[in-house]
Structures are given as C-alpha cells and as structure tokens.
Chains A and B, each alone.
Chain A
Amino acid sequence: MSMHKSLKDFEKVIRECVKCGVCQAYCPAYLATRREGAVARGKIALAAALLDGGIGLEERLQQDIGMCLMCGSCMHKCPNTVPTHEIVGAIRREITDKQGMSLVGKGVSALLGSRVLMKTLAKSGAFLSPLLFEKIPETSGLRLRFPAPSMKGRTVPKIAFRNLFDRFPEFIEGRADKPVVGFFAGCSITYAYPEIGEAMITVLQRMGYPVFLPKAQQCCGIPALSAGNGRLVDELALANLEAFRKRDVQYIITACASCNGGIGAYRSMKVDSKDLTGKLIDFSVFLQKEGLFEELAGMEKRQDRVKVTYHDPCHLKTQGITREPRELLKALPNVDFVEMENASSCCGLGGTFSVDHYECSRAIGAKKIPGLQESGASLVATACPGCIMQLQDSINHAGLKMKAVHILDLLAAAWR
C-alpha cells in the first residue's frame, strides 16, 4: 500500500475551495499564462470533477495538472488554506499509477533507475560530464530536474569534481557541551554546490556544534513528488528516516529551502516521520535561535560592503520564514541589504516544472527582473540552490550583471 494520500483523501479540503479566485494573484503558473486552467482554482475544479467522475484523466487535464510548480504560494494566501500543491501531487500519482509516467513526468520517469539510458544521455554531452554525472545516485532529484538535452540555453549547475561527501567525514567533532546537529544537505548542495554545504558545516563548527552528515541520506524526494512518482518518494523517505536514526541529534538542519519543504512533506504521508520532521529546521531560523545574528551585528561594518537583495524561496515563504533570512543579511558586516519589489514571487523552477515547461518557467523567472534591476543590488542572495540556479538563468537571459548567491556564501565571506 502506498504511504501517500490519494485524491480521495483530499475530498474534504477540495470542497473547501470557495472559488474566490484569490490564488490568481499569487500563482506563478497563472501569472505567466493568465489561463484559468493554470491557476489553483482551476486545478481544484478539475480535482472535484475527477472525484465526481465527471471527467477522466484526459490529455488536456494532464497538461493543466502539469502546469504547477508545487510551490504552495496559492495555499499560503488562500482564505481556506486549500493545499493545491498536495492535491496536484495526488492527481499526478493517480496518473502515473493508472498509465505509467505520463505527460507530467514525460521523459523524466524513463530515466529513473535506467542506468543505461542515463549513460547515453550523459554521453551525448547534454550538459554534464559523464564521469561526474555517474557519481549522482540514480534516485537523485537532480536527474529529474535536469535530464533532458532539450533544454537549450538553460543555465545548469556544473557538477562539482569533489562532492560534499568527498570533502567531509560522516561525523565532525565539536565541543562537548554542544548537542549534535544533523545536516540534511540534499542533492543540489551535495553535488552541484558543495561549497554551500562547506560553508554550513564551517559555520556550525565555528559555533562549536558536532555535525552529523550521514552519507546514507538520499534525495529529499521533492522532484519525484512533483513528477508523481509516489513509489520513489516512499523509498527516499524511508531511507532518510533510517539514515538520521543512526545518531541522536537535536536538530536536522537544511540549507536548501526545497529540501526543507520536501522533508516537511513527509508529514502528510501515512508514515511516522517525527524523528525527522520533528527536528527539521531551516539554517536561518537555527542561526537566529542560537544567537548568531547578534554576534554578527556586533562586528565592524566593512568599507567594501556589497549591495545585496533577497529572494524568498517559495518553500520558506509558505512556512512564514521571511524575516530570519533578511535579518541575517542585515546583520552581516559585508552586506548592504536592500529590499526589492516582488521579492516573494516564485523564481519559476518548481520541482520538475522547468523540464516540461521551460518556456513558461522562463516567463515566470523573467518577472523577477524589473525588481532585481531596480533594487540596484549587485548580488541577489537566497536560501535555496534551486532558486540560485533559476535566478541566474533569468539574469543571464536578461543580460544583467548580477550574481545569485546563497546567504551562506556571504556569511562564510564575512569571516574570511
């Protein structure tokens, strides 16, 4: 039996959508297309019709259900907090269950578990050097996010020669009076941006915390969730639970907003995930809790400060984590923080969305540009590697000189 909720399980919340249309103002898929089929309300109407038997999984329905970044922006502002992203996930699983991977995960599923195909793709020189790509587990979301050679012109992360697991042991000693903290690094940080992970571990070490970085940790599962591959999410969730049970840790920290959302999504699965989800904490919230902001604010401001603005990753914004990252940036001695317009609008990456809908994904990303430009900042900092990559892609297409970075990059630089 699947550990996931089925569409039927959502029946009650589906009926709670009052069709007010508020989600139109916040749904990135709608704002890029202004088509009712793309907005949360439209998807809920389809979900209700599916439940009533008024419609089957017709092709157009699959396309509309595909038009979702699973960002949760709609639920965040919905007067009745209808969880459209979870409902979309359930419909996508239904689609994959009934007819195998479909339009939703087109091309994506075929790659899963198929080493041969993976190699061929990699060899075609699509964008990754085959040797390095092989180091990424087959279940990793990175393979779901960037599988296709068809994404011409897309800025993709280079796969690091030495990944995070090559750089650190599984257990990093700390002070005896400090509790052990776990670090859930996630695929993007581990393989594409290990320097962000390095910064995280360095910060924790500096503060005296022993760090547990279990190498058995897997992808959080968000790309698989987005592709409707429930079976794979089950597998990953169980493996991650197992990996972190190996040691008694007080917190499990993430530095990737998507991973935080992905692990958090285990809460709505039919499995007891408290050992993991009960300890889950975003790095900025953790650092504030532990008093690091005051220490930073006490440091002498640098002469050569850079102007930095902040982009809200959907997976933090929807949990109400918007203050902490900004306060951290404001506290940094090497940063001049400026707010920008549309800071909280989605970057457009959205799980596997940009694979199937690169054009729309780009259109959503382009909406960030005026705000970025007007802010006058030279860097845009954020708290999610996925956003960094997508923002950089949008910036490059617009021909701006800005750079997208992780807050931890700046924190590490402050101490250098």
Chain B
Amino acid sequence: MDEQVLKELKGIVGQENVFTELTDRITHSYDATQERHLPDVVVYAGSTAEVSSVLKLANRHLVPVLPRGAGSGFTGGSLPVQGGIVLVLTRMDRILEIDMENLTAEVEPGVVTAELQRQVERRGLFYPPDPASKEFCTMGGNVAECAGGPRCVKYGVTRDYVLGLEVVTPTGDIIKTGGRTLKNVVGYDLTRLFVGSEGTLGIVTKILVRLLPKPEAKKTMLVQFETIDGAAKSVSAIIGARIIPATLEFMDAATIACIREASSISLPEECRAVLIIEVDGDKEILDQQVEKILAVIRPFGILATRIAATDTESEEIWQVRRIVSPSLRQMGPDKFNEDIVVPRSRVPDMIRALEKISTDYNVPIVNFGHAGDGNIHVNIMVDLQANGMAEKVEKVLSEVFRTVIDLQGSISGEHGIGTAKAPFLHMELDAATISSLQRIKAAFDPNNILNPGKIFLESSPQRPAEASSR
C-alpha cells in the first residue's frame, strides 16, 4: 500500500489504530464463509468524522474500503476481494440513548446485538430481531444485512425496527435518514434503502431503532410429527387460527437423524419432523393459546408433545435446536448453508423437492429453520476433497435456487448476496432490475470504492492500480 495513504490514515485514526503487519492482515482476511482475501491495511475507526475522512482519502487514492463488524457474515460481505482498507467498527460500541418515553434506542454500529437487548430488557423493553449470532454480531452488520431470526414470524426483521440512520456515503458525506417518529414521509425512504445494502452504499455510523414493551412471559413446546406434511399443515393451521407464535421452528427427518443421539429429549425413528413453538405475551393468555394450538394441530399425525412448564424445561427444548449446527458435521466436513425462503404455504413442496434433489445427486441435504416465515436453512453436506464434488455442488445449488424461484420464493432470506450468492443473482432479478440497482450504486459511489465486487458479478472492476502497490 502507498506510503502516503498509510501516513494519512495514521493521521486520521492515530498510529495505534492502523495495522499493516502480515499477522494483522491474516486476522482480518475472513468471515464466516471461510473464504480468505488479504486486505492491504486494517483500520479501527473511532468516530463518524474518522470514517468520513477515511472514505474521502480512499476516493482520492481510489482504494477499496470494506466496512467490517464482527465478521460473522455468511456471504463474504466484509471480505476484501480486491484488497484495500478493512475498516473495523467494533471500537464504536456505545449505546448512546435509551428513550423510555418514545421507546427508541440510539446505538453506534459496533454494539453487539445481544448487549443492546440485555440493556433494554433491564428497562422492561424489547428489541426483537434475534439472529442466532446475536451474542457476537454487531448492529451495524445487522442493518447492513437486514438480519432476521426465529422471532421474525411474529416480530419482523431488522428493517422493521430501524427508524433512522447516520450514514457516511462513499464520497465521505455524512447524511441522516429517517427520524425519531414512527411516521415520516419527507423525501425518499433512504433508511429502507440502506438497510440490507450490504455495506455497498454507505457506512452506518449511528442507528436509531424502535423498541417494544417486553412481553410478560413465554411458553415453549416441542411437537413430534409422523410426516413433514403433518408438520407443515400444522403451521398453516396455527396461522389460520389467527395465532402468531413468537417462534415456529421446524426440523426435517435428516436433521432429526443428526441429533438423535445428542438430544436429551427422545426422538424415535418414527418421528419425521419436529416443530418447536413458542408463544409469548401476557401470562393469562398463554395457557389458552397453547390449548388452542394443540387443538388445531391434533389432526396432523402427532407422535408426542412436550410443553415446558419452567424456564429450565424451555431451555431443554431450545437446547435440542441448538445442537443442530454442531451435529451436522457428521454428515460431511464441508457445509453449504443456504437460507432460502418460500411462501409459508409452499414449505412442504420445497422440502419434497429438496428430498428429491438429495436422492438424485446422492448428497445429504439437511433442512431446518423458521417454518413460520418460510425461511429454510438448507445445508448441503459434502466432502469437497471428493472427486468432482465441487462441480456437483454447483449443480445442486442451481437446482435448489431454481426450485425456490419456481415456488415464488427468494434465494436469500437473511444472509444477503455478498460474493457467495452473486453468481445466482440473475436467477431472481431480471436484467432491468439489476441495472436499476447498479445505477443506485453508481450514484452513491461514483468511483466504486466502497465494498467493490459484491452483490453484482458484472461490476467487479479491475482492482484500482494504486491499491495494488504494496
């Protein structure tokens, strides 16, 4: 990297926050996709003004800038595929305000999601979006990917909670979007544009979210089914009965087989599907809701039902869900985790199609996820060392995505496109739509310095000449 650039970077954030050693570059070269791309330099920013100065500098020298939170992304969003500056935001980790009257909170991007949740829950409030990574992912990353989680079926995703943002645009301007009110129609809705923009349109430096009152209590149950169809019909029946559970998670037969041994709740061979249902709200209504759910799902081939009476028992049920990820490894060392989503009613069709693809290609596919909102985690388990496996996986993925589109679904529900899904973008969006997105990108980022090479395959330009000189 250009000495001049380094010197200026040090001037902006201080010598102690600029890292250029090979060690530092290696420890900032990956995210949860396990891909590896070395940055030229790693910078830990401390303020909005610093972020702005870094972006202005990058524009002058045409160096790529990669915003990075906790690096827990599943699609390569924070990876420096063209080198450049990895700009880490974990130092900006203050909760600036929790407004008890207007039920809002303002945070810096480096705040860890679960930490915000703990702080608001202490005050009787509630920030619902709950990605499984909440104990370590950052709010900035959540906004950039529009993260979701099990509670989305009732409470919605990150997008539904962001009221306003402070954003540094790729050219270094500091802009504010949205505001403190629930209603606001002044100008374009830039807030929604930035949420889910995967760090390609601007760097989020402040986030204003709305909060809810914390539900008084919750009740968890685990239901075992004879067939996946029975489980799927139950999901429709529950929603049809106008009950929206806080979470509605399912596991298919392949998932159950993986966890059978490790599970503390006995899951016999006949059990082909499991639903974990949690309802929340006022104490008095919970038992009623549970009764009602049990009544509507009774016709659908239930093998066993367990209702947690205490927090510990509820924990035991969630533990069954949590052992899924680590248990998958037995099926194959390499995992392709796709977070597809289909309309709720098409979940059984999707599962059947996945079973067929699995047999046709002779690769294990394990499915579990958020039945309530149709978001299925499709895990293709393979050993990439095996001959021809990489090509086979490509084909399987294409087929899975094609089925998703046929069922009017989407190829990513929560993880984003990044680099991992960029080759498949055209399957879901037509040329005119992609071109609109690209024009928006170009309007904000004329020099294409912010997170280049993401979302759009076509737009990966040559690496700017300045950036490659080390």
Q: With the chains together, A42 CA to B29 CA distance in Å?
A: 10
Chain B residues with CB under 8 Å of A25's CB are 112, 114, 135-136
Q: With the chains together, A64 CA to B112 CA distance in Å?
A: 23
Does A1 belong to the interface (CB within 8 Å)? Answer: no
B72, B93, B137 pick with most chain A CB within 10 angstroms? B72
List the A residue with the shortest CB-CB distance to B112: A25
Which one of A45, A54, A80 contacts B27 once the chains associate, using CB atoms below 8 Å? A45
Is B326 within 8 A of A21, CB to CB?
Answer: no
Which one of A20, A24, A34, A58 contacts B23 once the chains associate, using CB atoms below 8 Å? A58
Interface size (B, Cβ < 8 Å)? 33
Is A21 within 8 A of B27, CB to CB?
Answer: no
Chain B residues with CB under 8 Å of A59's CB are 21
For residue A84, give the distance in angstroms from its CB to the closest CB of chain B: 13
Q: Which of B30-38, B252-260, B423-431 contacts A (4 or more CB under 8 A)?
A: B30-38
Q: With the chains together, A18 CA to B326 CA distance in Å?
A: 11
For residue B383, give the distance in angstroms from its CB to the closest CB of chain A: 13
For residue A342, give the distance in angstroms from its CB to the closest CB of chain B: 11
Does A55 belong to the interface (CB within 8 Å)? Answer: yes
Q: With the chains together, A314 CA to B91 CA distance in Å?
A: 26
Cβ < 8 Å to B, chain A residues 298-336: none
Q: With the chains together, A45 CA to B22 CA distance in Å?
A: 12
Which one of B32, B112, B335 contacts A19 once the chains associate, using CB atoms below 8 Å? B32
Which one of B21, B72, B90, B325 contacts A60 once the chains associate, using CB atoms below 8 Å? B21
The answer to whether residues A36 and B136 also contact, given A19-B34, A60-B21 and a CB cut-off of 8 A, is no
Chain A 16-35 near chain B by CB (<8 Å), digits 1 or 0? 00111110110000000011
Q: With the chains together, A60 CA to B19 CA distance in Å?
A: 10
Does A49 belong to the interface (CB within 8 Å)? Answer: yes
Is A37 within 8 A of B135, CB to CB?
Answer: no
Is B44 within 8 A of A60, CB to CB?
Answer: no
List the A residue with the shortest CB-CB distance to B323: A79
Does A46 belong to the interface (CB within 8 Å)? Answer: yes
Chain A residues with CB under 8 Å of B133's CB are 20-22
Is B70 within 8 A of A24, CB to CB?
Answer: yes
Does B159 belong to the interface (CB within 8 Å)? Answer: no
Does A61 belong to the interface (CB within 8 Å)? Answer: yes
For residue A144, give the distance in angstroms from its CB to the closest CB of chain B: 25
For residue A65, give the distance in angstroms from its CB to the closest CB of chain B: 9
Chain B residues with CB under 8 Å of A80's CB are 326, 329
B21, B23, B44, B90 pick with most chain A CB within 10 angstroms? B23
Cβ < 8 Å to A, chain B residues 26-56: 26-34, 44
Chain B residues with CB under 8 Å of A18's CB are 32, 34, 335
The answer to whether residues A34 and B90 also contact, given A21-B32, A79-B326, A80-B329 and a CB cut-off of 8 A, is yes
Which one of B31, B33, B325 contacts A79 once the chains associate, using CB atoms below 8 Å? B325
List the A residue with the shortest CB-CB distance to B86: A36
Is A58 within 8 A of B72, CB to CB?
Answer: no
Chain B residues with CB under 8 Å of A42's CB are 27
Chain A residues with CB under 8 Å of B44's CB are 35
Is A36 within 8 A of B27, CB to CB?
Answer: yes
Chain A residues with CB under 8 Å of B32's CB are 18-21
List the B residue with the shortest CB-CB distance to A18: B34
Interface residues on A, range: 20 to 34
Is B23 within 8 A of A37, CB to CB?
Answer: yes
Which one of B19, B23, B70 contacts A46 once the chains associate, using CB atoms below 8 Å? B23
Cβ < 8 Å to A, chain B residues 317-359: 325-326, 329, 335
Is B24 within 8 A of A37, CB to CB?
Answer: yes
Chain B residues with CB under 8 Å of A36's CB are 27-28, 71, 88
Chain B residues with CB under 8 Å of A55's CB are 22-23, 26
Is A58 within 8 A of B26, CB to CB?
Answer: no
Does B110 belong to the interface (CB within 8 Å)? Answer: yes
Is B136 within 8 A of A54, CB to CB?
Answer: no
Chain A residues with CB under 8 Å of B19's CB are 37
Is A58 within 8 A of B136, CB to CB?
Answer: no
For residue A61, give the distance in angstroms from its CB to the closest CB of chain B: 4
List the B residue with the shortest CB-CB distance to A50: B26
Cβ < 8 Å to B, chain A residues 75-115: 79-80
Chain B residues with CB under 8 Å of A61's CB are 21, 23
Q: With the chains together, A320 CA to B259 CA distance in Å?
A: 21
Chain A 55-79 near chain B by CB (<8 Å), digits 1 or 0? 1001111011000000000000001
Q: With the chains together, A79 CA to B330 CA distance in Å?
A: 13
Q: With the chains together, A55 CA to B24 CA distance in Å?
A: 11
Which one of B26, B137, B325 contacts A45 once the chains associate, using CB atoms below 8 Å? B26
The answer to whether residues A19 and B31 also contact, given A24-B70, A35-B44, A79-B326 and a CB cut-off of 8 A, is yes
Which one of A21, A24, A54, A79 contacts B26 once the chains associate, using CB atoms below 8 Å? A54
Is A60 within 8 A of B23, CB to CB?
Answer: yes
Chain A residues with CB under 8 Å of B28's CB are 36
Is B136 within 8 A of A64, CB to CB?
Answer: no
Chain A residues with CB under 8 Å of B329's CB are 80
Which one of A19, A37, A58, A60 contacts B30 once the chains associate, using CB atoms below 8 Å? A19
Is A24 within 8 A of B24, CB to CB?
Answer: no
Is B27 within 8 A of A34, CB to CB?
Answer: no
Chain A residues with CB under 8 Å of B325's CB are 79
Residues of B within 8 A of A (CB): 19, 21-24, 26-34, 44, 70-72, 88, 90-91, 93, 110, 112, 114, 133, 135-137, 325-326, 329, 335
Sampled A-B contacts (7; CB under 8 Å): A24-B136, A25-B114, A37-B19, A46-B23, A49-B26, A61-B23, A64-B27
Given contacts A21-B71, A45-B29, A58-B23, could you give 15 more A-B pairs where the C-beta distance is less than 8 Å? Answer: A18-B335, A19-B32, A20-B133, A21-B133, A22-B135, A25-B136, A34-B90, A36-B88, A37-B19, A37-B24, A37-B27, A63-B23, A79-B325, A79-B326, A80-B329
The 7 closest A-B pairs by CB, nearest first: A25-B135, A42-B27, A60-B23, A79-B326, A24-B136, A60-B21, A34-B90
